[in-house]
């Protein structure tokens, strides 16, 4: 189960990171580009919307959607493993 927990957090990242900040790989939360250490949720989408960069916002929504699908798959696998362990 610990391995699945590790996978679940890693599923929320992308290897190429956020636009303009490849070192921040987490797609659900990261320090804001303009806010320093203030956290932003779904930062790539949010910041593109705030800058009125609509094509970039759409592209980032697709990337975050894929990250969330990956996360759902890991959760489903963990749930199946737990159900199998309980039976």
Please state the domain extents for the chain.
2-86
H or E element that contains 79: helix 54-86
- Cα distance between residue 33 and residue 87, in whole Å: 48
Q: What is the pTM of this model?
A: 0.86
The string of pLDDT tens digits covering residues 40-71 is: 999 999 999 999 999 999 999 999 999 999 99
* Class of the CATH domain delimited by 2-86: mainly alpha
Q: What is each CA distance from 73 to 6, 35, 67, in whole angstroms?
A: 14, 32, 10
pLDDT at 21: 93
Phi/psi at 24 (nearest 5 deg)? -95, 105
């Amino acid at each position: 189960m610990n391995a699945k927990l590790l996978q679940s957090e890693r599923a929320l990242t992308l290897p190429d990171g956020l636009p303009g900040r490849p070192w921040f790989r987490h797609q659900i939360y990261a320090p804001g580009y303009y806010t320093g250490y203030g956290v932003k949720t779904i930062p790539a989408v949010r910041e593109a919307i705030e800058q009125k960069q609509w094509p970039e916002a759409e592209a980032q929504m697709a990337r975050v959607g894929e990250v969330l699908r990956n996360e759902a798959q890991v959760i489903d696998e963990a749930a199946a493993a737990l159900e199998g362990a309980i039976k």
